[in-house]
Amino acid sequence: STETHSKTVLVTGAATGIGKAIAEAFCNCGYNTVFADINLGEAAQNAKRFQHASAITLDVTQEADWQTATTEIVERYGSLNCVVNNAGIGLPLNIEEIDHEHWQTILNVNLTGTMWGCKYGVKLISQYGGSIVNIASVLGKRPVANVPAYGASKAGVINLTQSTALWCAEQNYPVRCNVILPGYIRTALMEKALSEAINPKELLKHFASLHPMNRLGTAEEIANAAVFLDSERASFITGSVLPVDGGNTI
Ligand code: NAD
């Protein structure tokens, strides 16, 4: 039918990788789905394949973009029920190499961007009911040596998720807020790390071996968890930290 579905989701960083897979999974579960990204071309390409999907330019670090996007979504679909804060960046720079610009850039996209997503998510979803799903990383819980800014940003996302969950529960808002910790997933982010490695094959084997299940995860496996967390089946789950990591954080 040409009528819109009853639930609407906004996914950030939906041009590629995990965000693209998450947005596609919500499309397949009958949501009106908004593919949001700084890369509008790719996002629009992805959205075109689904009837109840659209693409929007959204730089998660810009509050004005959130204001415009959320207003447009409610005008178009009549509600906003879920925000998935997936957009993120992660380049390695150890504590001796780190500089202010690197720190600011990583924290700005990963943590500040997720903060805006939570703020505007709460503002809209408290009116329509639904949930916020944040994408952190196993590195936010279990740090490694060479990505201090990334790890700190993701630890911040975990804490931000839980304070948002508490606030919504205390206000009696119909909004749950949860965070997924993906293990190592084969995406553009991973390809970049591999391409810069001296021995990519060894590095790939190494990444697989970090998971007791001895393989990398897939973007679809992260998407399944995101769809579950927003579903009615997760109706008593808020503030939870869900590793989807083949056992990495055990
Ligand atoms: P990716 O690089 O493939 O995709 C990231 C997307 O975010 C891109 O489409 C990019 O254009 C978009 N983006 C970047 N900055 C943005 C901004 N300011 N505003 C809006 N969009 C922006 O990365 P991915 O591997 O799919 O990662 C997605 C999320 O999952 C990230 O938060 C990442 O930290 C997290 N994660 C990834 C892995 C992994 O192994 N790939 C593991 C753990 C966590």
Q: What is the pLDDT of residues 218-230, one digit of tens each?
A: 999 999 999 999 9
Query: Which range is least confidently modeled, 42-56, 66-80, 142-156, 183-197?
Result: 183-197
Is 202 contained in some domain?
no
**What's the 108 CA to ligand 1 centre distance in angstroms?**
13
Q: What is the CATH number of the domain that holds 19?
A: 3.40.50.720
Average pLDDT value for residue range 225-239: 98
Is residue 235, in this structure, part of any structural domain at all? yes
Which domain range does residue 232 map to? 8-184+219-244
Measured in angstroms, how far is the CA atom of residue 237 from the centroid of ligand 1? 25
Average pLDDT, the chain: 96
Test site for ligand 1: of 89, 108, 203, most ligand atoms within 8 A of the Cβ:
89
- Ligand 1, atom 39: nearest CA belongs to which residue? 185
Distance CA 147, CA 143 (A): 8
Paired with 242 in beta bridges are: 180
Residue 133 lies in a domain: yes
Report the percent of the chain where pLDDT is more than 70. Answer: 99
Give residue 1's pLDDT.
Answer: 45
Atom 34, ligand 1: which residue's CA is nearest?
88
The side-by-side arrangement of strands in the sheet containing 241-244 is 53-57, 32-37, 8-12, 82-85, 130-135, 175-182, 241-244
What pLDDT band is residue 126 in, cutting at 50, 70 and 90? Answer: very high
Query: If we measure between CA atoms, which residue out of 151, 164, 141 comes closest to residue 110?
Result: 151
From the candidates 120, 150, 173, 184, give the one annotated as an active-site residue: 150
In 3D space, the residue among 203, 207, 226 whose CA is nearest the CA of residue 217 turns out to be 207
Please work out whether the CB of residue 13 comes within 6 Å of at least one atom of ligand 1. yes
Residue 242 pLDDT: 99
Residue type, 214: N
**CA of 166 relative to ligand 1 center, distance in Å:** 26
Q: Is the CB of 35 inside a 6 Å radius of any atom of ligand 1?
A: no
pLDDT band, residue 139 (cuts 50/70/90):
very high
Q: What is the mean pLDDT of residues 39-63?
A: 98
Q: What pLDDT was estimated at residue 2?
A: 53
**Total number of domains in the chain:** 1
Cβ burial 235-248 (10 Å sphere, 16+ → b, else e): eebbbbbbbbbbeb
Predicted pLDDT of residue 191: 86
Cα–Cα distances (Å) from 52 to 15, 65, 143, 219, in that order, read 17, 22, 39, 21
Per the domain annotation, does 161 fall within a domain? yes
> Relative to the CA of 154, which ligand 1 atom is closest?
34
Q: What pLDDT score was predicted for residue 193?
A: 81
- The string of pLDDT tens digits covering residues 10-49 is 999 999 999 999 999 999 999 999 999 999 999 999 999 9
Distance 3 CA to ligand 1 centre (A): 31
- Residue 197, domain member (yes or no): no
* Residue 150 annotated as catalytic: yes
Within-domain flag for 51: yes
For residue 104, what is the enclosing H or E element? helix 100-107
Q: Is the ipTM of this complex over 0.85?
A: yes
Higher per-residue pLDDT: 191 or 140? 140
For residues 137 and 180, is the Cβ–Cβ distance under 8 A?
A: no
Residues near 43 by Cβ (< 8 Å), separated by ≥ 6? 14, 15, 35, 36, 37, 55, 56
Dump pLDDT digits (tens) for 152-189. Answer: 999 999 999 999 999 999 999 999 999 999 999 988 77
Which residues fall within 8 angstroms of residue 68, CB to CB, at 6 or more apart? Answer: none
Any domain includes 231: yes
Upper half-sphere CA count for residue 190 (Cβ side, 13 Å): 20
Contact between residue 159 and residue 113 where contact means Cβ atoms under 8 Å apart: no
With H, G, I as helix, E, B as strand and everything else as coil, classify residue 3. Answer: coil
User: In this structure, are residues 26 and 33 in contact, taking their beta carbons and an 8 Å threshold?
Assistant: yes
Cβ of 18 closer than 6 Å to ligand 1, yes or no, is yes
Q: Would 99 be classed as within a structural domain?
A: yes
Radius of gyration of the chain (CA): 17
